[in-house]
Chain A
Amino acid sequence: MRKFDYLKPKTLSEAFDLLKQHGRKAMLIAGGTDVIVMAKQKKVSPDVLISLREIPELDHIQYNGNLSLGALVTHRDIEKSELIREQFSALTDAADVLGSIQIRNVATIGGNVCTAAPSADMAAPLLVLGAQLKVQSAKSERTIPIDQFFTGPGKTVLAHGEILTGIEIPKLLPNTGSAYWKHQRRQALDLPILGVAVLLSLDKGTFTCHDLLCTTSPISAVLHSLETEELVCEEIRIALGVAAPTPIRTKRAEDLLRGKKISDELLEQVALAAADESRPRDSLRGEAWYRSDMIKVSVKRMTMRCIERILQPAETVFPTRLW
């Protein structure tokens, strides 16, 4: 690893000055669980690391209908937040399974987004939650919708001299549930083979037959029974990780479901459409055909999990559940 200097600015203004002073020899570092690993692997060779940890106000979690997260919020903080678990569940699903506790205590959501791996666990949940990224530079501020942020594996629209300072999740519709599934071989310390996030908003938050979800029947059977409830999808968002060069939304698949009644056949079509929109590749963790198959299965399952979270929010989801 190349030897670097390690600077700890106390304000954003100081950070911008340092970024300007050192130019491309400098890299920003938050938790460092990506940057230090990349430096050790010689994938990056900064002469200077500029740490964001001493800058105040970058690690807040604020909620007033919409959720405001500072870029330096750790994944462990997200894991521990009951509010995020209840209201923005997909984010917690991802934080629960990212790396390990040791990593989560240090790694930040801003870092996960800015490293911009196609497999970034937080990306797919943030995509379905419609996250807006707050980016600042010495002279200006801008807000970037997350679906315009990633440009390629490890690449974003961030210019040198810009710092991601926060992530805003706008208020969600009532009767909304979200979920994220990290398809991985191990239960920790693994990258996903595939990541699937779904957000679903229904026209109502209750149903008449309460036994419908307390079952070990196949998903299709449950969905057929659910059709009698005539639940209408008001909003649907689907995002995939490790299924394209960047994390993506599958908007054409979403269009098939938006405004329509939930039914087994329709969810099948939506899942197929999502797989069609993806561009997975063969890699160490899985082949493209397998990822495609898993998209078809898991989009349906995660939609089911959303339905359960909307209709039975007080119930804990049992691990033996099919979805």
Chain B
Amino acid sequence: MNRSSFNVHGSLLEGHAMQKQTIHFILNGDPIEVEIEPYLTLLQLLREKLELLGTKEGCGMGECGACTVLLDGKTINSCIFPAMEVAGKNVTTIEGLRDSRGYLHPIQKAFIEQGAIQCGFCTPGMVLSAKALLDENPNPAEEEIRTGIAGNLCRCTGYIQIIQAIQAASKQGSTK
């Protein structure tokens, strides 16, 4: 056994040391460089390395949407997305939704005003799914809203106020 291949992560790979990798990507509009273990998920990168705790872990298996973030504007489940794959891409988390003055995004305001937040755990993912929906379809019918948020589970609200919030936000005008 070659001692030099035993790395601090406790994993023995014959003839190959698992090294940390440096990746560059855009996070909430700003370029960032970060060193990561190659097996990290994007969720782990965001919460554990970057201490951006807005993105939540619900099921950890891509089945609830609590971990939803935007990758190049499209929603993904960060809990099952390899962090290595964000290199060169644009990641938007819930923290990135405020404008440059720090004011809440119209979708966030609508969620608050319409009572769409109870425990709040689904909210970051739900808001980002709503943003992706409205970016693509600024005036969705109710059925389209339901389909648009079908990947985000909420145990509290029964979805009615969430749908109303998205409708209110869409009436407001530009939500980009």
A contact set with B: CB distance below 8 Å: 1-6, 8, 25, 29, 32-33, 36-37, 40-41, 47-49, 51, 53, 76, 99-103, 105-106, 187-189
User: A5-B18, A36-B82, A40-B60 are known contacts. Are A102 and B151 too (CB-CB below 8 A)?
Assistant: yes
CA distance A102 to B18 in the complex (A): 30
Please tell me if B11 contacts chain A, counting CB pairs below 8 Å: yes
User: A8-B84, A189-B63 are known contacts. Are A106 and B76 too (CB-CB below 8 A)?
Assistant: yes
B150 touches A188 (CB 8 A): yes
> Which residue of B has the minimal Cβ distance to A4?
B39
User: A5-B16, A100-B151, A187-B150 are known contacts. Are A105 and B41 too (CB-CB below 8 A)?
Assistant: no
> Which residue of A has the minimal Cβ distance to B19?
A5
A101 touches B82 (CB 8 A): no
A37 touches B62 (CB 8 A): yes
A103 touches B62 (CB 8 A): yes
Please tell me if B123 contacts chain A, counting CB pairs below 8 Å: no
User: A2-B11, A32-B80, A36-B80 are known contacts. Are A103 and B74 too (CB-CB below 8 A)?
Assistant: no
Query: For residue B65, which residues in chain A have a CB less than 8 angstroms away from its CB?
Result: 100, 102, 189
Please tell me if B35 contacts chain A, counting CB pairs below 8 Å: no
Query: For residue B151, which residues in chain A have a CB less than 8 angstroms away from its CB?
Result: 99-103, 188-189
CA distance A2 to B39 in the complex (A): 9
A76 in complex: contacting residue of B62, B68, B74, B77, CB < 8 Å: B74
User: A8-B84, A102-B77 are known contacts. Are A3 and B37 too (CB-CB below 8 A)?
Assistant: yes
B62 in complex: contacting residue of A47, A48, A51, A102, CB < 8 Å: A102
CA distance A99 to B60 in the complex (A): 15
CA distance A6 to B68 in the complex (A): 22
Query: For residue A3, which residues in chain B have a CB less than 8 angstroms away from its CB?
Result: 9-11, 18, 37, 39
> Which residue of A has the minimal Cβ distance to B146?
A187
CA distance A5 to B18 in the complex (A): 6
Query: For residue A101, which residues in chain B have a CB less than 8 angstroms away from its CB?
Result: 75, 129, 132, 148, 150-151
Report whether over half of chain A's contact residues are helix, strand or loop; otherwise say mixed. Answer: loop
Query: For residue A40, which residues in chain B have a CB less than 8 angstroms away from its CB?
Result: 60-61, 80
A103 touches B85 (CB 8 A): no
Query: For residue B81, which residues in chain A have a CB less than 8 angstroms away from its CB?
Result: 32, 36, 106
Return the 3 tightest CB-CB contacts between A and B, nearest first: A100-B151, A188-B150, A6-B38
Query: For residue B16, which residues in chain A have a CB less than 8 angstroms away from its CB?
Result: 5, 48
CA distance A103 to B64 in the complex (A): 11
> Which residue of B has the minimal Cβ distance to A80?
B136
Query: For residue A103, which residues in chain B have a CB less than 8 angstroms away from its CB?
Result: 62, 77, 151
Pick the most buried of B21, B84, B129: most chain A CB atoms within 10 A of its CB: B84
| 20 A-B pairs (CB sep. < 8 Å) | A2-B11, A3-B9, A4-B38, A4-B39, A5-B38, A5-B39, A36-B80, A36-B82, A37-B61, A37-B80, A41-B61, A51-B84, A53-B85, A100-B150, A102-B129, A103-B62, A103-B151, A187-B146, A187-B147, A188-B147
CA distance A207 to B133 in the complex (A): 40
Per-residue A-contact encoding for B13-55, CB less than 8 Å = 1, 0 else: 1001010010000000000000001110100000000000000
Query: For residue A189, which residues in chain B have a CB less than 8 angstroms away from its CB?
Result: 63-65, 150-151, 153
Least Cβ–Cβ distance between B155 and chain A, in angstroms:
14
CA distance A100 to B38 in the complex (A): 26
B85 touches A102 (CB 8 A): no
Query: For residue A33, which residues in chain B have a CB less than 8 angstroms away from its CB?
Result: 62, 77, 80
Query: For residue B71, which residues in chain A have a CB less than 8 angstroms away from its CB?
Result: 105
Query: For residue B146, which residues in chain A have a CB less than 8 angstroms away from its CB?
Result: 187
Query: For residue B153, which residues in chain A have a CB less than 8 angstroms away from its CB?
Result: 189
> Which residue of B has the minimal Cβ distance to A100?
B151
Query: For residue A25, which residues in chain B have a CB less than 8 angstroms away from its CB?
Result: 13
CA distance A189 to B151 in the complex (A): 7
Query: For residue B63, which residues in chain A have a CB less than 8 angstroms away from its CB?
Result: 189
Pick the most buried of B38, B41, B148, B152: most chain A CB atoms within 10 A of its CB: B38
CA distance A40 to B41 in the complex (A): 11
Least Cβ–Cβ distance between B86 and chain A, in angstroms:
11
Starting from the known contacts A3-B10, A103-B62, 13 additional A-B residue pairs (CB-CB under 8 Å) come to: A5-B18, A5-B38, A6-B21, A29-B82, A76-B74, A99-B151, A102-B62, A103-B151, A187-B146, A187-B147, A188-B150, A189-B63, A189-B151
